[in-house]
Amino acid sequence: MPLSQVPEGARVWVNCLPLHPELHRRLLAMGVRPGVEIEVLRRGKPGGLLHLSSGLMDFMLRQEQAAEMEVTLVAPG
């Protein structure tokens, strides 16, 4: 599923990063890569920003950027 469709509060594993070279490099530099778990902390208004967390780092992505990232929901523990 695309990251842009993940509900607020859900945790997911990253399957693939966006193809856009600058965004791809930025995410890799932050430690976001395939296999990493991220959490959707907040969703902005429709079409707005996603507030995400990976480890101790919070970051934001635009909906269109998040739509390019495939993720898998983490099974509830």
Element (DSSP H or E) covering residue 15: strand 11-16
Give how far the C-alpha of residue 14 lies from the chain's centroid of Cα atoms, to the nearest Å: 7
Res 44: pLDDT: 85
- At 62, the pLDDT band (50, 70, 90 cuts) reads very high
Residues 6+ apart with CB under 8 A from 75: none
Q: Give the separation between CA 69 and CA 43, rounded to whole angstroms.
A: 16
The model's pTM = 0.88
Q: Which domains does the chain have, with CATH numbers?
A: 3-73 (2.30.30.90)
Q: Using one digit for the tens of pLDDT, what is the confidence trace for 3-49? A: 999 999 999 999 999 999 999 999 999 999 999 999 999 998 877 89
